[in-house]
């Protein structure tokens, strides 16, 4: 019995060490990388061969079927989504290809039939951006929608500000995309990591982000979410400095109100008190698709 226990313990120690050093390799500097473990567990469940880059973005999945990229036309939507985990692959429900009509996931110059998790974003669970695109097709705004998803979980506004690492990554993504397509809509969903950030600082960083996008000759409307809610309910209050700053940012030319997830998606609709559950995903997609639709109908 003692020998068996020792072998099992040794195997566990080896496994933990392997997970840790894998975490270092993908930029997850933490002694016990729960994010990596959760990703791996989810991917074993769906029996998919996958690859992540140093930002944590899903860059390859054997479940994703590559297709020919469509030719650009006036009824083709090109929607770019970015921010932190609620813009990435951390939601409860994974959408399958047969649930999404004429929605395409674009990453690194290639096109794939859209499904959760989306290539290009962090995480390996569900998301709601593909459903937003599906709703835009159903509303007749576009005949087809290309999605570019670049959200990275747990990131602050500072990293997305002009000159910083995620800003450089994002500008590279959209600059490459714009050589082939005209970007029609940009979705920004972030703020949960900035509870300790002063509202004026948040606004300043966001304004530099907008500046870097416009300097890249991309004039698509930027739909900003009101998003600050994440964690224990007792530690959260609304409105707050970040939610107020986000609302004020809709006054910038070219920045539009997307949806208020702090109000529309309460804790009861977040499976872990932060990330959207199934109903929360549907509400977010419906609300945002309505905002985008109104913009294009009345611009």
CATH code, domain with 121? 3.40.50.1110
Calpha distance 23→32 (Å, rounded): 9
Q: Are residues 128 and 191 in the same domain?
A: yes
How many domains is the chain built from? Answer: 2
pLDDT at 39 exceeding the cut of 60: no
Q: Does residue 57 lie in a domain region? A: no
Say what the pLDDT of residue 12 is: 46
Which among 19-28, 232-241, 278-287 has the top mean pLDDT?
278-287
Mean pLDDT of 3-15: 43
Contact 59, 52 (CB under 8 A): yes
Q: Do 138 and 282 fall into the same domain? A: yes
Confidence check: pLDDT of 92 > 90: yes
Q: Which of 79, 82, 85, 68 is nearest to 135 (CA)?
A: 79
pLDDT at 44 over 70: no
Domain assignment present for residue 20? The answer is: yes
Question: Per the domain annotation, does 59 fall within a domain?
Answer: no
Evaluate whether residue 58 is within a structural domain: no
Domain closes at, from 10, 28, 52: 52
Rounded to whole angstroms, the Cα distance separating 262 from 231 reads 12
Q: Identify the domain containing residue 253 by its residue range.
A: 64-298
Q: Residue range 96-117: average pLDDT?
A: 98
Give domain status of residue 150, yes or no.
yes
Residues 192 and 289 in one domain: yes
Residues 123 and 6 in one domain: no
Distances (CA, A) of 276 to 135, 181, 193, 229: 18, 30, 16, 11
**Residue 36 parent element (H or E):** helix 34-45
> Do 263 and 283 have their domain in common?
yes
The residue-averaged pLDDT of 111-126 equals 98
Residues 84 and 177 in one domain: yes
Nearest Cα to 113, choosing from 105, 125, 124, 123? 105
Q: Is residue 222 part of a domain?
A: yes
Same domain, 48 and 137: no
**Separation of alpha carbons 114 and 101, rounded Å:** 9
> How high is the pLDDT of residue 29?
38
Asked whether residue 220 is assigned to any structural domain, the reply reads yes
Q: Do 25 and 79 reside in the same domain of the chain?
A: no
State whether 128 and 164 are in the same domain: yes
Q: Say whether both 48 and 141 belong to one domain.
A: no
């Amino acid at each position: 019995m003692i020998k068996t226990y020792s072998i099992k313990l040794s195997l566990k120690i080896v496994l933990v060490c392997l997970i840790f050093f894998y975490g270092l390799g993908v930029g997850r500097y933490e002694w016990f990388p729960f994010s990596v473990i959760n990703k791996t567990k989810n991917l074993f469940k769906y029996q998919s061969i996958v690859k992540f880059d140093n930002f944590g973005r899903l860059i390859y999945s054997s479940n994703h079927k590559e297709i020919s990229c469509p030719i650009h036309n006036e009824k083709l939507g090109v929607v770019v989504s970015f921010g932190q985990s609620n813009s990435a692959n951390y939601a409860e429900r994974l959408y399958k290809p047969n649930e999404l009509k004429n929605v395409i996931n674009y990453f690194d110059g290639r096109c794939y039939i859209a499904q959760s998790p989306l290539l290009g974003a962090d995480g390996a669970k569900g998301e709601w951006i593909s459903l937003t695109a599906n709703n835009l097709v159903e509303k007749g705004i576009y005949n087809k929608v290309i999605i570019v998803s670049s959200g990275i979980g747990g990131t602050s506004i500072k990293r997305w500000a002009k000159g910083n690492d995620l800003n450089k990554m994002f500008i590279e993504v959209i600059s490459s995309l714009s050589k082939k397509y005209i970007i029609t809509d940009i979705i920004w969903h972030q703020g949960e990591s900035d509870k300790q950030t002063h509202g004026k600082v948040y606004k300043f960083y966001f304004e530099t982000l907008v500046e870097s996008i416009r300097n890249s000759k991309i004039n698509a409307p930027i739909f900003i979410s009101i998003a600050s809610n994440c964690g224990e309910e007792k530690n959260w209050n609304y409105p707050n400095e970040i939610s107020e700053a986000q609302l004020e940012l809709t006054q910038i030319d070219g920045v539009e109100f997307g949806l208020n997830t702090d109000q529309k998606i309460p804790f009861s609709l977040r499976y872990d008190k932060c990330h959207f559950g199934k109903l929360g995903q549907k509400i977010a997609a419906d609300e945002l698709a309505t905002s985008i639709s109104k913009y294009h109908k009345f611009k």
